Amino acid sequence: MLILMLDLFVKSVTWEAEGVHSYDLRAPDLSPLPPASAGAHIDLVLPQGLTRSYSLLNAPGETRRYWVAVQKDPQSRGGSAWIHQQLKVGDRVQVQAPRNHFALVDSPAPVVLIAGGIGVTPLVAMAAQLNQRQTPWVMHYSARTRARAAFIDHLQNLQAASGGLGQLHLNFDQEPGGKMLDLAAIVNAAPVDAHFYACGPAPMLAAYQAAASQRPAEQVHWEHFSAAPAAPPAGGFQVHLARSARSFTVAPGASILDTLLDNGVSVSYSCMEGVCGACETRVISGEVDHKDLILTPAEQAQNKTMMICCSGCKGAELTLDL
């Protein structure tokens, strides 16, 4: 997969909520950036070799900047902590151009947006795109406390600009009297043709999937921003790289990505846990054991691509377009 790399600079850093900063990234000559639709993300390539994915907050069509938010993760392995502490106004940063695995379906049907914490970021862009389309939307945004909820003002502005088509509902589950979102009630109150989009922590998404299980699968969408700990890949198979005519044994407990990196093969990757799509690779032959959280069950069944950071092989051999 050809990935377009961009050399951008940090125009501004803004405190958005407790533990959340936003970064306004621009081209050095302020030229327009490749456009993105709502739900897209960019990858920041950090100096220590880490790559981290962040959803764009930009309204679609806004190409003068990429606007992302970074929540400092107390368990940070160097990504969010480094960005918060080291990335300053005027610094240069390498960015992989936007990709979108969480796009709005092209439909006039009403939309329900369900956000948990920093998972609100792709849904901010979606609310803006729905305003542009004049599609009715309702957002349920839950955070632990108001102080930890970023972009409330921005979302209220989007609601005000919707001409009555947008509704914002806030929920703070750790404030006095607070409760978790009643996802079953939210789903049951939505029109039968509504599309649902959710982004948040894994337990919230599991509850959402259960609550929406009676709705048609093509109307229920979600994006993880991190994965639950997964079982190690099965390993114990051969991987063949068709274009470079090389073959490797993927050992039990190792991933294809680890194996390729250990052998000096240059491949694109970011999250290493099956949630960002950076390592998506075309499959030429062999049956994939899909473990990612991006491809739909139908896409997984097609066996055309795989995420090599987490998925394995059901048989003895796999041939990839690398």
Chain residues in the site for ligand FES (CB under 6 A): 269-272, 274-279, 292, 307, 309
In the complex with ligand FES, which residue's Cβ is closer, 21 or 224? 224
In the complex with ligand FES, which residue's Cβ is closer, 26 or 101? 101
Q: Which of 138, 155, 21, 172 is nearest to 89 (CA)?
A: 21
In the complex with ligand FES, which residue's Cβ is closer, 51 or 219? 51
Minimum CB separation from ligand FES for residue 311, in Å? 9
The Cα–Cα gap between 25 and 9 comes to 6
Minimum CB separation from ligand FES for residue 122, in Å? 16
Minimum CB separation from ligand FES for residue 37, in Å? 20
Minimum CB separation from ligand FES for residue 43, in Å? 9
The Cα–Cα gap between 312 and 72 comes to 31
In the complex with ligand FES, which residue's Cβ is closer, 250 or 307? 307
Buried-exposed string 203-226: b where 16+ CB fall within 10 A, e elsewhere: ebbebbeebbeebeeebbbbbbbb
Locus of tokens 């406390």:
145
The tokens describing 315, both together, are: 């048989």
Would you say 173 and 89 are in contact if contact means Cβ atoms under 8 Å apart?
no
Minimum CB separation from ligand FES for residue 256, in Å? 10
Where does 138-274 have alpha helices with state H? 152-160, 183-189, 202-211, 256-262
Burial classification of residue 84, based on how many CB atoms lie within 10 Å of its CB (0-12 exposed, 13-18 middle, 19 or more buried): middle
Identity (one letter) of the amino acid at 85? Q
